[in-house]
Structure 1
Amino acid sequence: MAKKFSVLLCLLFATSMLLSVLTIPQATAGSTTVYVDPPSIVDPGLVPGEMFNITIKVSNVSDLFAWQIKLSFNGEILNVTRTIYPPDHVFAGQTYIPLGPVIDNVAGSVLVGASLLVGDPFNGDGKFVIIEFLVTGQGQSVLGFVSGETILLDSAQADIPHTTVDGYFENAAPPPPATMYISPERIVDPLLVPCSNFIVNVSIANATDVYMYEFKLGFNSSVLNVVDAELGDFFPSSVTPQIEINNPAGYLWFSAELEPPETPKSGDGVLAIITFHVEDYGVTNLDLYDTVLKDEAGGSLSHTALDGFFNNIQLAKLYISPSEIIDPGLLPSVVFTVDVMLDDVENLYGYEFNLGYNTGMLTCIGIMIHPVLNETHFTTNMMMDDGVGHLWVKVTYYSPASPITTFDPVSIVTLTFMVDNVGSSPLDLYNTSLTDVNGDPIPHEAIDGYVQTLIRDVAITNVVCSHTWAYSGWIVNVTVTAKNLGNVSETFDVTAYYDSSPIGTLTVTDLAPNTETELIFVWNTSDVAEGLYTLSATASYVPYEFNTTNNNYVDGTIEIRELIRDVAIIDVYASPSEVYVGDIVNITVIVKNEGNVSETFDVSVYYNDTVLIETQSVIDLPSGEEIALLFFWNTTGLTPCNNYTIRAEASSVPFEFDLSDNVFINGYIKIKLVGDINGDGKVDVRDLALVSASFGSYPGHPRWNPEVDLNQDGKIDIRDIAVVASHYGEIC
């Protein structure tokens, strides 16, 4: 390794001397292109463990003296194993410096290049480098040239304008199956009576490269008939589908196919829009079958098909009436009733239900069974457990009772409750059953009820002051939180106080139940004498208020002062602004006493906001005076490739008038990467060219460049070249 490095330094030395004496021609303009060959590799057979190569090429280039490319790739599926200069590369047969490779398989990049030492610049079309990849996963990857990192230089070290054409790799597994489905999936609507129409869509999701589709949709023709079918939005409107409607057999056949120049379609969309006519009441599946998806080559595409459902039979209903009772008069000891109602039922011969309620609010004191439609031939079973808030009722009809049929609401049971406490309670119907004469269940829905006492209660829940102390004349914000603890919207006034003196009154309008609002009182303290004051707020009473003890809230104190104390940082500047690790930076901080009494305080300087550089004390700085403090920052141990922000902060003095000017942030110090002569955040062929161009110079020499004197010994020699070469390829 040492021998190789010595040869590299000697070659750099030779090219430096050569560059200093030659007259170098300028690059000629041209349509130069850097590209990947082959441009695209799509092969599912390149599974993890397989390897493949690409070649980086250039076309139509003139006066090429040095080149560098940085190629990015998906490091989760590809790794670079090595780079190879092909036997016929652009600098073959001449003396050149290979640069790199710098491989970062975690970030997914490879940096490689070459520079001539002795010989003629390259012109025309040629090869740069072969890159060998190891496949580590499955997916897609752009093989992309990184902007600003792909560089072509002519013999004068000027950039050669060029374009780049990225490559592409893919070994992804086949796409997941598409799904064909009915939308909406379920239609349960008793309003879809005979002679009415409705629409469903046959849709597709997660499709990939579909060129043709076909399906049959089956249905019960005694319930539904198809009256129309048209193309959806998945294929363009220029496509004419093939359609067969066979209502006697109960199916629809639908087929559509693209034609050139249309390209295959992917994603989600609607395949067909189907209009049904309702023939009768009933239930039917909407059955998708004989489904076909094909790609452009005629190959079958994997997919699943999901059926739909239709039902327009009106369901029987078991429900509480009234469904909701919200009444401020429902106070303890008040008695009220609700009914369990039945509607839209045929051939009923028995019913059963359970009902739950909040026993903390209610007590059930009565259950009355009604003879529905005057039918009295029935037996009853019932149970009441007020301890857990539960009751059970079962009624069974017997011969000669006629089955109950009604399409009008009727009360089957009346329940009597007594209010124990204010509050709320569901009236929860569950485990319900309706049966016909054969004991078979009758489909139905059960609908709960709800009871609530009207509660009126407003409260002040918090008082927060923007300051714990303030100078007389300051504006102070007092934030008061008011809450409606009741269950009806309320309008009321809120007054804020310091001691017994009012700050102001604001009105809260229509505050919704169980919500809160913040009121900000803007307090001008100009007429407030120096002293310590207690803050509080009070909400006015609302009619019939449930609890008035929470209408007042006292929280904290504020001190009003007249003596002004204030220190400030008024300027910060640093020199120099760009350094290498270990350099000393001089930081000057200007501080001022802006109050009306002498102050003693500390001044601290930080980098990156939190890392302390140094703290100095200011002793008895007179009112209105300012002073400059000098801090020396040794940058040893800092990380290159970073900008460090400088912040100065004065410690606060008691009861400080203005803390906003105690901190001053101004500019930043840049720590450069060793060898990064041009400060672009990377050590590359540009930096090598700069150090070569200044080789042998010293202060006063026409080619002298102090930025290249990396070891600061007053001359540009092989030591400086060695520094750049040893850091080649490093990047921030």
Structure 2
Amino acid sequence: MEEKEKEIGKSSVRTQKSSMVDIAVLLALIAIVVAAFTVLPVLVSAAQEVEVRVNAPEYVAGTFNVTIDVDNVTDLNSGQFDLSFNSSVVNVTDVKEGEIDGVAVPIFMWHFFDADTVRVLISMPMDVGANGSGSLAEIEFEVKGNSGEKSALNISNEMLVDTKAKKIDADWYDDEVAVLGTMVSVNAPAYVEETFNVTIDVANVTDLNSGQFDLSFNSSVVNVTDVKAGEIDGVAVPIFMWNFFDSDTVRVLISMPMDVGVNGSGYLAEIEFEVKGNSGEKSMLDLSNRQLVDTKAKKIDAEWYDGEVTVLGT
């Protein structure tokens, strides 16, 4: 009887030890699973997708730059892409090297594949790879279209290659630009006395070759004494002629040399006035019969804004 009780006791101890071992194994497995899930986000983070995107301003005027940005690239040694656009709206003038985390990305070559597409090839020295984020290339454009016109900037025939001559998988994203509207406005001081100057300001104009406008005013309050040349981004805008259309209106014609266009912002003309009225009297400065023309003899769409002056009290 005592021997049986001893055997039962030994069996109970073995069962308890076995249970403790099972629990220890279970806890170890749980710890491994927890550790695996803890490490998983790090592994996922380390395998971030490479992205390449066209980085362009939303609205453009005159000239502008576009970068072909790249994120999270590893061992980049060479690559190529075609960039397509609407050449009647914007056109490429140059392609310059990119930079990834302080490392220059040389342009091996670039050329026009057709009128609406440039092909760009980049290449690092042999066995040299660039890592990180930056740009593959910087592309310079000039605006050819009119206000409100748009052009997609689409990438195709794209490829990135690493130092082992293996293709680097990447997601590629296009972009779009819209031509900023041309604006013409009367820039006059709010209050005037004796003599003062008014400029006919223009913003965001492209290929301006000629134009005209009538400026009307109350000749009993203010009167024009002279009209002088304008200037757009450092380029003189000659006055072809000006004259009094009637006692309250001057007509101004501007003209650049044939086939010469001016781009950017500035003023079409500077108009000198003298005060004729009394303190507190006002005169509108209204633009009419207005038109701007580009180097192809096409009308440039623009928004025109008038002005007003008040004779300063004495």
TM-score by length of 1: 0.22
- Relative to its length, the structure with more strand (as a share) is 2
**Greater Cα radius of gyration, structure 1 or 2:** 1
Structure of greater relative contact order (alpha carbons < 8 Å, 6+ residues apart)? 2
